[in-house]
Amino acid sequence: MENFSSFRPQKKRGAGESDSATVLAPMKRHFLPLLILFLAVAAHAEVRTWTNGQGASIEAEFLRQADGIVTIRRIADRQTFEIPIATLSEADRNWLAKQAEGSAAGSGTGIYIAVGNGAHRMSSLDGITWTNHEFLDKPAHDQNDLKAMAVGNGVCVVVGGFSKSNIFTTSDGVNWEKNPFNMGVLSGVIFHGDRFLAFGESGKVGASKDGQEWEIIGDAKLRDHQNAEKEKLGLDEVIKSNIRRWREANGIFVGAGDNCILVSTKDFQDWTFAERLEPQSRLFIESDGAGFVVHGDRTLHHSTDGVTWTEVTPAEVDEKTRFQSLVHDGERYLVNDRNGRAWESADGQEWELVEDATFPGTLATLRPDLYYSFETYWKYTEDLKRSTDGGRTWESCEIPAPAGVTNVIFAEGFPAFEAKP
CA nearest to 9, candidates 25, 28, 29, 27: 25
412 phi and psi, to 5 degrees?
-65, 135
**CATH of range 110-412; options 3.60.70.12, 3.40.50.720, 1.50.10.10, 2.120.10.30:** 2.120.10.30
Peptide bond into 279 cis (omega under 30): yes
Check residue 61 and give its pLDDT.
Answer: 81
Check residue 175 and give its pLDDT.
Answer: 95
The whole-angstrom separation of Cα 226 and Cα 370 is 40
Check residue 102 and give its pLDDT.
Answer: 54
Decide if 397 contacts 374 (C-beta within 8 A). no
Burial class (CB in 10 A: 0-12, 13-18, 19+), 208: buried
CATH of domain 1-105: 2.30.30.700
Burial letters for 150-171: b for 16+ Cβ neighbours within 10 Å, e otherwise?
A: bbbeebbbbbbbeeebbbbbbb
**Taking the model in full, what pTM does it have?**
0.78
3-state secondary structure of 21: coil
Check residue 18 and give its pLDDT.
Answer: 33
CA nearest to 243, candidates 201, 276, 284, 273: 201
The whole-angstrom separation of Cα 22 and Cα 334 is 29
Check residue 98 and give its pLDDT.
Answer: 77
pLDDT in tens, 279-315: 899 999 999 999 999 999 999 999 999 999 999 999 9
Identical fold, 1-105 and 110-412:
no
3-state helix, strand, coil in the chain (%, to 5): 10, 40, 50
- Ranges of residues in the chain with a pLDDT under 50 are 1-6, 8-44, 104-108
Assign residue 184 a region: left if phi > 0, alpha if psi is -120 to 50, beta otherwise? left
245 Cβ contact partners less than 8 Å away, ≥ 6 residues apart: 148, 187, 188, 255, 256, 257, 284, 285
3-state secondary structure of 316: coil
- For 339, which DSSP code? T
* Residue 228 host element (H or E): helix 222-233
The whole-angstrom separation of Cα 30 and Cα 389 is 9
Check residue 101 and give its pLDDT.
Answer: 65
